[in-house]
Amino acid sequence: MVRSRLVLSALSAAGAAMVAGSLLGSGAAAKASTLTPTYQLTYGFDAYSGLTKVARWSPCTVINGVRRTHVIRYKVHTAGVAGRVTLAKQAMARVATATGLHFHYAGTTSYIPQGKLSGTALMLNAARQRRATRSQLVIAWAFRGTGAGRSNLLTATEAGVGSISWASSSRSQMRIGDAAVVMRRGVHLKPGFTSGGSIGTLLLHELGHAMGLQHVSYRREVMYPVVSSVSAGGYTLGDRTGLAKVGAARGCFRTPDLPPVSP
C-alpha cells in the first residue's frame, strides 16, 4: 500500500493554495521508481517471483481463454455538496481517457475511507472499504481525524491524500485492488479544471496516485507535489505518458480479482 499526501502550505500572492507533498510507503514492500523528467510509477516486491514489478489495475482478465473487461466501480462521498459528483465524474472521464481503463459510477456513499495501523505504518483499510461500499475506489471529502465526517488518512496540514492497496498471487503481478482519494474540506482553490491552482487539478493529482503514479520534479505537471499558480488545469504530456504506462496498454491479467487486503 502506498499513500501519497498533499500538505497545505500557504496562499500565494495570486491567491492559489500551494500544496507541498511527501510520500509514505509500507517499508520494503513499496518504493518509487528512478526519477524521470515526466513520470514515476509505483513498484512493489512480488514475493512469488522475487521480482520488483509495477503495481497497476487490471484492465481485463483472460481466464481459460475467455477475455473479460474489468470495470472499476467508484463511489463519491460528497459531504453534502451535490456538485462534487459532477466534478468526480469529469475527473474520472479524464483518467479513463488517459489510461484506457473502464470505470463505473456506482452512486454516492456515506462511507469515508480510513486507515488502519499495520505495525508502524498507517495503511488503507481496503477490506473495510470494500465491505461498506462494494466498490474498489472511493472519492471523499472529509475533515481530518476520527469520528463522523473525518478520515484518519489526513493530518492537520494535508489538502488531499491518495492511497492504493495491492496484492499478488503465484500467477498475478502486483495488482491494485482498492484505492481511496480523500479531499480535505475547507481547502480553497479555483473551481473546476482551470490552470493556476484549481480543485480539479488537486483531484486529478490524487487520482493519479490512485492509478499508481508518484510525484515528479516538473512543476507544470499535475503530478508535481505542489498545486500553485503554474499548475496545469489537466493532465499534461508527462502525466498522460505515466497513466498510459499503468493503463490498458500493459495488457490483461490472468487471474480473477484478488480479495481486498486487510492490514
pTM of the model: 0.87
**Residues 49, 40: Cα–Cα separation, whole Å:** 23
Q: Residue 37 has what pLDDT? A: 54
| 24 pLDDT higher than 70 | no
φ, ψ for residue 254, nearest 5 deg: -115, 25
Q: Residue 29 has what pLDDT? A: 32
197, 203 in Cβ contact below 8 A?
no
Tell me, what CATH number does 51's domain have?
Answer: 3.40.390.10
Please give the distance of CA 73 from its chain centroid, rounded to a whole number: 14
The answer to whether residue 229 sits within a structural domain is yes
The answer to whether residue 248 sits within a structural domain is no
| Amino acid found at 173 | Q
Q: Residue 19 has what pLDDT? A: 34
260, 66 in Cβ contact below 8 A?
no
Q: Give 263's pLDDT tier (boundaries 50, 70, 90).
A: low
Mean pLDDT over 86-93 rounds to 98
% of the chain surpassing 90 pLDDT: 66
Q: What is the dihedral of CA 60, 64, 66, 72, to 10 degrees?
A: -30
- Which residue range is the domain that position 159 belongs to? 2-60+69-243
114, 127 in Cβ contact below 8 A?
no
**Residues 4, 225: Cα–Cα separation, whole Å:** 9
The answer to whether residue 202 sits within a structural domain is yes
Q: Residue 27 has what pLDDT? A: 27
The answer to whether residue 261 sits within a structural domain is no
| 241 pLDDT higher than 80 | yes
The C-alpha cell that represents 150 in the structure block: 473525518
Mean pLDDT over 47-62 rounds to 89
Q: Parallel, antiparallel, or unpaired: how do β-strands 158-169 and 172-184 relate?
A: antiparallel
The answer to whether residue 13 sits within a structural domain is yes
Reported residue count of the chain is 263
The answer to whether residue 193 sits within a structural domain is yes
Mean pLDDT over 230-238 rounds to 95
Q: Give 71's pLDDT tier (boundaries 50, 70, 90).
A: very high
Of 8 and 83, the structure prediction assigns the larger pLDDT to: 83
Tell me which residue has cell 497497476.
Answer: 56
The answer to whether residue 125 sits within a structural domain is yes
Summarize pLDDT for 173-197 with one digit per residue, the tens: 789 999 999 999 999 999 999 999 9
Mean pLDDT rounded to a whole number for the chain: 85
Mean pLDDT over 159-175 rounds to 85
**Residues 39, 196: Cα–Cα separation, whole Å:** 20
Summarize pLDDT for 90-138 with one digit per residue, the tens: 999 999 999 999 999 999 999 999 999 988 888 999 999 999 999 999 9
The answer to whether residue 253 sits within a structural domain is no
Domain total of the chain: 1
| 32 pLDDT higher than 70 | no
Q: Kindly state the greatest CA–CA separation across the chain.
A: 59
